[in-house]
Amino acid sequence: MRIGDRSFDTTEHTYIMGILNITPDSFSDGGKWNTLDEALGHAEQMVKDGADIVDIGGESTRPGHEQITEEEEIERVVPVIEAVRARIDVPISIDTYKAKVAEAAVKAGADLVNDIWGLKYDPKMAGLIAETGAACCLMHNKEKAEYENFYQDMLRETRQCVEIARAAGIASDKIILDPGIGFGKTYEMNLETLHYMERFHSLGYPMLLGTSRKSVIGLTLGLPADQREEGTLATTVIAVMKKYAFVRVHDVKANKRAIQMTKAILAAGPEES
């Protein structure tokens, strides 16, 4: 698939989406990159470390986050997108579920819309993405972790996101899916999703895994957000083994090395007869 002016081989590689939060309250790095110079410097470092996409977000989506206005979100992200676009030659993703923010971000230079509500929050989002020709990442999410059959319901609800996208005119080769670790799921459901995450390939689209520093890692290891790198790396290794095309992470260099090592091991064995 193409994102911006880059081609991505989503069947044979696992690419890195580096996280750049322009927020005061994100759960693991809130306030660290809030000035333009700090944000640009961090984006440049992530690309040097191996990031293939820079994902810029202006509103925290952690549990219990405080929603901000579209105008404030635009004021946070647009200058950073413009600066990154001018200095760094990688595709840019905008992490938002609001069509007005996405529109301003794409005009500023974003190539991909990363929507944590999978087009289900803002009824204008799908049409906006189709009109701009941007790529999109559609995440599974819901208000409450209530299911009749967890995995079947999750696949069905994710399929609904795809149907909204296709009905609006978004091309099939512009769609990435995300199982939504940490959203609308209990701790046990998050672990189950990771265990069976290859089942999402049945939907027929490239997959992205976003687990970096999340609570499922913290609860498993009994660690705060700033000590969850090893746990994140474990999930990245599994993502490579289960042929996920993208991982969304904070610690780019370490995850890049984990991907390279995992791929080398997987490629070393002889072909089975």
How many Å apart are CA 21 and CA 49, to the nearest integer? 17
How many Å apart are CA 74 and CA 62, to the nearest integer? 19
Nearest CA-CA partner of 99 in 76, 120, 75: 120
Conformational region of residue 184, where left means phi above 0, alpha means psi within -120 to 50, and beta covers everything else: left
How many Å apart are CA 39 and CA 108, to the nearest integer? 16
Exposure class string for 97-121: b at 16+ Cβ within 10 A, else e: bbbbbbbbbbebbbbbbbbbbbbbe
Which residue in 214, 228, 242, 256 is the catalytic one? 214
Q: Answer yes or no: 248 catalytic.
A: yes
Under 8 Å between Cβ of 94 and 102: yes
Give all strands of the β-sheet with 208-209 in edge-to-edge order: 175-178, 135-139, 112-115, 92-95, 53-57, 15-21, 246-249, 208-209
Under 8 Å between Cβ of 154 and 192: no
How many Å apart are CA 194 and CA 244, to the nearest integer? 11
What backbone torsions phi and psi does residue 23 show, to the nearest 5 degrees?
-140, 150
Q: Looking at the annotation, which residues are catalytic?
A: 214, 248
